[in-house]
Structure 1
Amino acid sequence: MPASGQFPARIPQCQPGCAPARRARTHAHRVLGAADVNAPRLALGFSGGGDSTALLIALREGWPGIPVHALIVDHRLRPDSTREAALAAERARAMGAEPHILTWDQPRPGQGAARLARHRLMAQACRALGVKILCLGHTLDDRVETLRMRQARGGPEHTLTAMAPVSISPVWPEGRGLTIVRPLVGVWRGALRSALARRGAEWIEDPSNEDRRYERVRLRQTPLPVHEASALLERADDIQGFIPDMGEGDIELIEWSGQFSDTGWYQFRNGAMYETSRHVLPMIGQAMLAAMSGSPALAPLRASRPFFTALFNARAFTGYGVHLTASGALGRDPGAAGRADGVTAAPPVEVQAGQTLVFDGRYEITAKAPLTLSLLGARRPGLGEDGAPAVLRPSLILIEGQDGAELARADGPGRWLWRERLNNLMLSPALPAWFDARTMQARACAALAVTAARTNI
């Protein structure tokens, strides 16, 4: 084992009996077979603005016959927002899409809060509609603006990336199984406006796009010269190229390195992951912290260092929603009155018959009869909780119904979501063959008669 506090940096040398070698990494996205998807359908975030109007035209003409749902979010942040949402719905219907107005019931100021609320509402709507693909109208200008904001914050080099053409939903658990695509992210906004003008198409100008209180608006009003914007994009592409791709082999490494218990915690094998490459280890740690904590917020990559340092030196660790014992047992932070990282403990939740619910971001259940889910806390009902390490028992999940109580188990009435979270974070998002990532951008651009300034996806 390494000396105290040391973080290993060796490349794995697999011998018989060691962890399986990771498969060759690739940028190609998974393609779903016909048995993996429902009837083809698409959704898009639609505001009625120029970008989303262009995207809706591209979807209707590029994929004729595929139903398109226009998801219109009324943030209730301005007095006119409800009227604007109704107007957007009228235009979406006139363009051949089925509109759905989604209302944010608890608006809070700030673009960050509005963005997450928008994603949660759209993810919930997609699940209700049986839609697996959500299209967003981001352009190359949006990508440059995001890169400029991240550059100004001076974070680590790996954070200088933004708006991939294909990604996972940024919200959990609402966005589980939802793939985000941006068919026009390689096209400049000006080219889309010209395409709309040629068609005589109308769009709505959002007044908030002129509000200089927002950083993005200020950047939009002071655009970079083309050569500076291109240099920034090249730098971001170079950085992205050095970030290791994750794959099935990395998930196999996690499964080889320990065992997931049926009551929701994980036991590392002795010496597990010590030989794993330091380039990949932080990303594995980040995914494991998210999968075991159920936290909607992804821990930063730097969180992996103290986590693995504790593991490799047989020390306990608490942080980012998890607790690791000195003996290598990993589970949800057991704080019964609130997690040690300050996040409030999940309150009991009632589930009605026929309702599907995700409790604490970790366990999904569809109730056949009314149930109550809660963290076990200090209770000791004698349901097999003694099989878990004592410090992790408060974080076990108790299911109480008309027929009695039981612990949440892998073979019980619900299922643990750790594997789905690992898949979402470590594998390239899955797309159906009829919406292949390699041809998505080309077909959208052809429908609008525009040329992408950057075509690498």
Structure 2
Amino acid sequence: MPLDTLDALPDIIRARLDALGEGACLIGYSGGGDSTALLLMAARWAAHKDVPLTPVIIDHALRPESAHEAEVAASRARHLGLAPEIVRWDGDKPATGIQAAARAFRLKTFARIAREKEANTILLGHTQDDQAETVWMRLQAGGGPDALAGMSSQSPLPLWPEGMGLSIARPLLDVSRAALRDWLTRQGESWIDDPSNESRAFTRIRNRQTLAQLSESGFDVAELCALAERFQAAKQADAKAAADIFLNAVNLLPWGGVILNRNALLAADDRLAAKALDAARAAVSGDPSSRPEAARRLLDGLNASAPATAGGAALTFFQSQCWLVRDPGAVGGRADQTAPAVRAVKFGDETIWDGRFAFTRPDLAISVSGTAYPAEFSTETLKVVPALARPGLPVIRQGGQFCGIPGLSAQADKVTQSLAKALIQRNLFEDRPAAWFDEQLHAQTAQGSH
């Protein structure tokens, strides 16, 4: 951002924060220049709008000075009338991959505190420089168009199901690090410089230093951000096109499987058909992350009319139709397999089971069906479910009494919510899904029958 617009920066950021809508926010705050600038502007906005704003200060405990620096940052936040939370990363640290582990700890911390504070947005101080570094690193790694789109100004918290309903907002993504420090200096403000930001032990720091050297030689680092913007626009156009294909080629069923329109998928553009199929995979697997290789394997199976398993989903053929269902091996549903523990996450009275279903009562026991189907359940009802899918179905009991299977019995449906719609939207749209897709997907899921 040019220096002559610095005076307008708070107003620009305030408008972006206004666009987030209502609801409490967290802000990741380290005391560094970027997060300090965002904290100052966000604190004024929150006070004016009466929005609850909680600074979250992560002490990674990687340097002796970190605890003191966290307290200094907290003192700055309190001076602004805020109530910060300091969270220390205690325990042993991995010998390798320390930055990835630290990031995972931060994300889990944000998700936990957001639930406690009933917040739905986490503000982060990523800048234009961070965007350029991200694109540069992905270029070196041979990333495709989606990877080169870089970071979005708003995206889901990349955890599932802990991050369900939580968004990351990056209002400074087009503002340079130097401009923010110039703005802080004009305000008479100071910030903490973390010496680890100069350590060549970390890949990102080595890339940061390389970009600085290239910039001194005349390379315009901002061009990397312009490249990201072009790929971001292409990514959004692809998401819309894939969503159109999805609505025409995928039929969601309330018990968690989908019927695929093989002809519609194979008639579509190969790349977009794979994106649509990846969204269907997300719905049945409980994993909303983009899995291009898994989608390609499933599309190859569909093209060859051959069973395939990838990304937690299984392609199968039943009653002259193509189906995508939960891979029973991923939930211990096969007779020749030691059953893995199906992941269940507690949110108050809700339990998210296998990333696919939310159970709304705390006194329920949920287990995977396996090959020994409950004696209380009608085999006639199971005939509508492909044999490969039956071992991966969740079985609900209350007080030892059988309550049913979601999507196949009305009693079970009273205490169950399918997360298929949220999984699909998260897979296809990094930002908030388009209203037209939300409406049509809702209409499609409402048509599901027993």
The alignment's TM-score, normalised by the length of structure 2, stands at: 0.77
Deviations 1:185-237 (A, max 9, x none): 11110111111122222322223212211011122233131633133333333
**Aligned pair 1:310/2:301, yes or no?**
yes
Query: 1:418 aligns to what?
Result: 420
**Aligned pair 1:206/2:194, yes or no?**
yes
Alignment partners' CA distance in 1, 2:346 and 2:170: 37
Among candidates 274, 279, 284, match of residue 276 of structure 2: 284
Alignment partners' CA distance in 1, 2:87 and 2:39: 18
Among candidates 219, 230, 235, match of residue 243 of structure 1: 235
CA contact (8 A) 2:249 2:261 kept: yes
Query: 1:126 aligns to what?
Result: 114
Alignment partners' CA distance in 2, 1:248 and 1:157: 16
Alignment partners' CA distance in 2, 1:319 and 1:165: 31
Query: 2:440 aligns to what?
Result: none
CA contact (8 A) 1:347 1:374 kept: no
**Aligned pair 1:100/2:97, yes or no?**
no
Matches within 5 A, 1:132-147: 132-147=120-135
CA contact (8 A) 2:344 2:351 kept: no
CA contact (8 A) 2:368 2:392 kept: yes
Following superposition, the deviation at residue 157 of structure 1 comes to 4.0
Following superposition, the deviation at residue 350 of structure 1 comes to 7.6
Deviations 1:20-48 (A, max 9, x none): xxxxxxxxxxx9x99x97x5322211112
The 10-residue stretch of structure 1 (223-232 or 351-360) with the greater mean CA deviation from structure 2? 351-360
**Aligned pair 1:111/2:108, yes or no?**
no
Following superposition, the deviation at residue 129 of structure 1 comes to 1.7
CA contact (8 A) 1:336 1:377 kept: no
Change in 2 beyond 3 A, CA 1:96/1:280: farther
**Aligned pair 1:169/2:160, yes or no?**
no
Following superposition, the deviation at residue 138 of structure 1 comes to 0.3
Among candidates 40, 49, 56, match of residue 23 of structure 2: 40
Deviations 1:34-93 (A, max 9, x none): 9x97x5322211112111111111212345232211122233444444443333222222
Alignment partners' CA distance in 2, 1:430 and 1:352: 25
Change in 2 beyond 3 A, CA 1:329/1:378: same
Matches within 5 A, 1:219-238: 219-222=207-210, 223=212, 224-225=214-215, 227-238=219-230
Alignment partners' CA distance in 2, 1:352 and 1:286: 27
Query: 2:439 aligns to what?
Result: none
Alignment partners' CA distance in 2, 1:58 and 1:407: 52
Query: 1:12 aligns to what?
Result: none
Following superposition, the deviation at residue 354 of structure 1 comes to 5.3
Query: 1:404 aligns to what?
Result: 401
- C-alpha RMSD over aligned residues: 3.3
**1:239 is matched by which residue type in structure 2?**
F
Alignment partners' CA distance in 1, 2:43 and 2:230: 34
SS in structure 2 at match of 1:202: coil
Change in 2 beyond 3 A, CA 1:378/1:59: same
Query: 1:455 aligns to what?
Result: none
Change in 2 beyond 3 A, CA 1:350/1:293: closer
Alignment partners' CA distance in 2, 1:407 and 1:325: 24
Among candidates 385, 388, 396, match of residue 388 of structure 1: 385
Following superposition, the deviation at residue 265 of structure 1 comes to 1.4
Query: 2:314 aligns to what?
Result: 323
Query: 1:356 aligns to what?
Result: 350
CA contact (8 A) 1:210 1:217 kept: yes
SS in structure 1 at match of 2:26: strand
Alignment partners' CA distance in 2, 1:73 and 1:245: 37
Change in 2 beyond 3 A, CA 1:290/1:335: same
**1:322 is matched by which residue type in structure 2?**
A
Query: 1:69 aligns to what?
Result: 54
Following superposition, the deviation at residue 320 of structure 1 comes to 1.1
Following superposition, the deviation at residue 254 of structure 1 comes to 3.1
The 10-residue stretch of structure 1 (131-140 or 385-394) with the greater mean CA deviation from structure 2? 385-394
CA contact (8 A) 2:122 2:169 kept: yes
Following superposition, the deviation at residue 307 of structure 1 comes to 1.2
**Aligned pair 1:429/2:431, yes or no?**
yes
Following superposition, the deviation at residue 101 of structure 1 comes to 2.7
The alignment's TM-score, normalised by the length of structure 1, stands at: 0.76
Q: Which 5+ residue runs of structure 1 have no aligned equivalent?
A: 1-30, 432-457
Change in 2 beyond 3 A, CA 1:102/1:153: same
SS in structure 2 at match of 1:216: helix
Identity of aligned residues (%): 34
Alignment partners' CA distance in 1, 2:155 and 2:344: 33
CA contact (8 A) 2:129 2:177 kept: yes
**1:367 is matched by which residue type in structure 2?**
R
Change in 2 beyond 3 A, CA 1:379/1:88: farther
Change in 2 beyond 3 A, CA 1:197/1:351: closer
Deviations 1:408-439 (A, max 9, x none): 414241211110111223346349xxxxxxxx
Following superposition, the deviation at residue 251 of structure 1 comes to 4.7
CA contact (8 A) 2:359 2:415 kept: yes
CA contact (8 A) 1:177 1:424 kept: no
Change in 2 beyond 3 A, CA 1:348/1:95: same
Alignment partners' CA distance in 1, 2:189 and 2:255: 56
Q: Which 5+ residue runs of structure 2 have no aligned equivalent?
A: 1-15, 408-412, 434-450
Alignment partners' CA distance in 1, 2:341 and 2:249: 32
**1:117 is matched by which residue type in structure 2?**
F
The 10-residue stretch of structure 1 (287-296 or 98-107) with the greater mean CA deviation from structure 2? 98-107
Query: 2:38 aligns to what?
Result: 55
Alignment partners' CA distance in 1, 2:370 and 2:170: 43
Alignment partners' CA distance in 2, 1:203 and 1:396: 53
Structure number with the bigger relative contact order (C-alpha 8 A, sep ≥ 6) is: 1
Query: 1:183 aligns to what?
Result: 171
**2:235 is matched by which residue type in structure 1?**
I
Query: 1:442 aligns to what?
Result: none
**2:106 is matched by which residue type in structure 1?**
R
Change in 2 beyond 3 A, CA 1:351/1:183: closer
**1:421 is matched by which residue type in structure 2?**
L
CA contact (8 A) 2:333 2:368 kept: no
Count of residues in correspondence between the two structures: 394
Q: Which has the higher helix share?
A: 2
